Structure 1
């Protein structure tokens, strides 16, 4: 039987080197016995490039690492369409069950409307595929007609045309959806509907805007537990945004994160932060990141930073503020 390069190399080494290789294989066996969650934690400290290089050293190592290499798969629309026509798979893989997350690296409005997303996410050949990340050339409305029966739990959509329309009804067929991330969309006004994405709990908005009379709570005031708002444009200092901060109506929110990456526009929070905390009794943590200023918190952290290097507690809510990071 033909040996791999790594295995043949082992037989040409000195006894000391051979013992090292044997120890390595013992470690590999122990690695295989570790719980999946612990392995995932370990692999966070290894770059994907290094992981690929390591997997190429021998068939044994590649076999062990294969599920973790193919768990995150990226593909272009062209390759996706070709592979789907050939074998009803997003990529040609020997063990498609290991694919957990799929990322489309480009946008194509024609394919968005014609590709059978419902088949992709309900396929018995892809039982562990639960996450999709993609760019779109326009609005998200194409999902409305092509996602029935999906097992999708995590969806991230980035429109390459800022201001394109998003409506929660577009992704309502994703009944199992838990995490939704939107970038550069204008959120169209829609009424709250409990039957749309009933399991949605985490909402992330980056450079997304909305107009009166829409309220963020319409995503699900009794469903959303974590909210992330990230901006690098003027909307973060708009009246619409401050109206939300003054009177949020989420009833089960545990965590909110607000990031302002626009260096020339400072978000000043005076009474907003107290209104935010008092309006949401379930709130546990608040993150204020980037160019955000609150006089009370800023003065407190300036003069008493040694006693609150990680967070400031206010009404049993932990506030993580930018100056903590600056001072650490």
Structure 2
């Protein structure tokens, strides 16, 4: 079993697939799922929740051998655990005071499987004083790091990584700042301090040391930096995907500054739980001129307003507004997702004409509140679907009214 795991970790996936097929040629029984290449199995299991995959692994040895790398590809830990792992790997852990909470280093076979790690608690000292990117010495295949951070991203300016592909910065205040490891000057386990009222600032220049980063996800950050070419050189920025959740900004910042390097392909903008920023003049200006002159590289765009049940807060998706995403402004746009907007479905034929004449989409996803007087009848909804099929695009429509009716 150990040799089998080792082959999976260190061999190529193609070679492993060939080995598995040859080994199974001598077996009389096996599961058809496991005959598939590893990448296809991973895609299938991405649609299944983790407890179900674990249960599947428990059925027999063959499933356990094949699916364990998928189960252990995602891991989470506290700052306390991660700092101990780093100190153990470097041989810098102090032996003067035995720690009852000392963790046992995970087997190397498990550390080779980890591709994503989420840090569950927030710890200001750790961000500034511990080089978290040394984790690559322990987790050689780590490509996605999720960090629970209550602070601005300035500390990232002093960090480097030549292997990290994806970075997520989020904040869950329910996980208090941990102080249960060696640098703790007060020798207490946790400190619950008053939440800061200062905005959590993020600047793209803070990522200059993460040379291979291609995707960044930010939750609850504020942007206010100037478009100053002396601040940073965008030529080394390789970001092609950005996800912004409940993020805000102020003058002189515009979202187009995220695409100064001209390589951004995917942009997702989400607002939840009645976030008032969508009522601001800054968000209105963005909707009037999305990404200004930096939209030509965008292939996938999502703007989602989730949980806005109060009709006075909803943004209108008019014909004029919808036209802001047409191909003259977004020549490479292929997937457009607009959720949570208000839309008058009595004028749906005008939308269809606009799509047919001015869009080059492969997929259009709409989830809108119907503001029409009577709403669409069943006959009209069927006609709607027929017209859409004639456009030759993958179209998904979710329409909500006071009765939460659904048309697709």
Tell me the TM-score range normalised by the shorter chain: 0.7 to 0.9
Match of 2:270 among 211, 226, 230: 230
Is residue 86–residue 134 contact of structure 2 (8 Å, CA) maintained in 1?
no
Alignment of 1:244-255 (within 5 A): 244-248=286-290, 249=293, 250-255=295-300
Is residue 206–residue 230 contact of structure 1 (8 Å, CA) maintained in 2?
yes
Is residue 311–residue 320 contact of structure 1 (8 Å, CA) maintained in 2?
no
Match of 1:293 among 326, 338, 342: 342
1:226-255 deviation digits (Å, cap 9, x = unpaired): 111111212123221121122232221112
Match of 2:38 in 1: 36
Cα distance, 1:320–1:252 mapped onto 2, change above 3 Å: farther
Is residue 268–residue 302 contact of structure 2 (8 Å, CA) maintained in 1?
yes
Matched residue of 2:201: which SS? strand
Match of 2:284 among 220, 242, 267: 242
Match of 1:172 among 208, 218, 230: 208
Match of 2:248 in 1: 209
Matched residue of 1:212: which SS? coil
Residues in 1 aligned to 2:55 and 2:236: alpha-carbon distance in whole angstroms: 40
Match of 1:26 among 25, 29, 39: 29
Residues in 2 aligned to 1:297 and 1:85: alpha-carbon distance in whole angstroms: 65
Unaligned runs of 5+ in 1: 1-23
Matched residue of 1:53: which SS? helix
Match of 2:75 in 1: 73
Cα distance, 1:196–1:210 mapped onto 2, change above 3 Å: farther
Cα distance, 1:127–1:241 mapped onto 2, change above 3 Å: same
Match of 1:18 in 2: none
How many residues of Structure 1 are paired with residues of Structure 2 in the alignment? 301
Q: Does 1:52 align with 2:97?
A: no
Residues in 1 aligned to 2:73 and 2:386: alpha-carbon distance in whole angstroms: 34
Residues in 2 aligned to 1:269 and 1:45: alpha-carbon distance in whole angstroms: 31
Match of 2:161 in 1: 149
Cα distance, 1:68–1:297 mapped onto 2, change above 3 Å: farther
Is residue 114–residue 141 contact of structure 2 (8 Å, CA) maintained in 1?
yes
Residues in 2 aligned to 1:79 and 1:120: alpha-carbon distance in whole angstroms: 12
1:205-230 deviation digits (Å, cap 9, x = unpaired): 11000011111111115211111111
Match of 1:185 in 2: 221
Residues in 2 aligned to 1:185 and 1:312: alpha-carbon distance in whole angstroms: 38
Task: Report the Cα offset of residue 139 of structure 1.
Answer: 0.9
Is residue 284–residue 316 contact of structure 1 (8 Å, CA) maintained in 2?
no
Residues in 1 aligned to 2:396 and 2:264: alpha-carbon distance in whole angstroms: 20
Matched residue of 1:27: which SS? coil
Cα distance, 1:150–1:326 mapped onto 2, change above 3 Å: farther
TM-score normalized with structure 2 length: 0.65
Match of 1:16 in 2: none
Match of 1:119 in 2: 134
Q: Does 1:107 align with 2:122?
A: yes
Cα distance, 1:92–1:236 mapped onto 2, change above 3 Å: same
Is residue 164–residue 213 contact of structure 2 (8 Å, CA) maintained in 1?
yes
Task: Report the Cα offset of residue 81 of structure 1.
Answer: 1.4
Matched residue of 2:263: which SS? coil
Residues in 1 aligned to 2:397 and 2:30: alpha-carbon distance in whole angstroms: 42
Cα distance, 1:317–1:323 mapped onto 2, change above 3 Å: same
Matched residue of 1:177: which SS? coil
Match of 1:62 among 50, 61, 64: 64
Residues in 2 aligned to 1:310 and 1:139: alpha-carbon distance in whole angstroms: 50
Match of 2:84 in 1: 82
Cα distance, 1:319–1:208 mapped onto 2, change above 3 Å: farther
Unaligned runs of 5+ in 2: 1-26, 92-102, 174-195, 352-375
Residues in 1 aligned to 2:297 and 2:334: alpha-carbon distance in whole angstroms: 10
Match of 2:329 in 1: 279
TM-score normalized with structure 1 length: 0.79
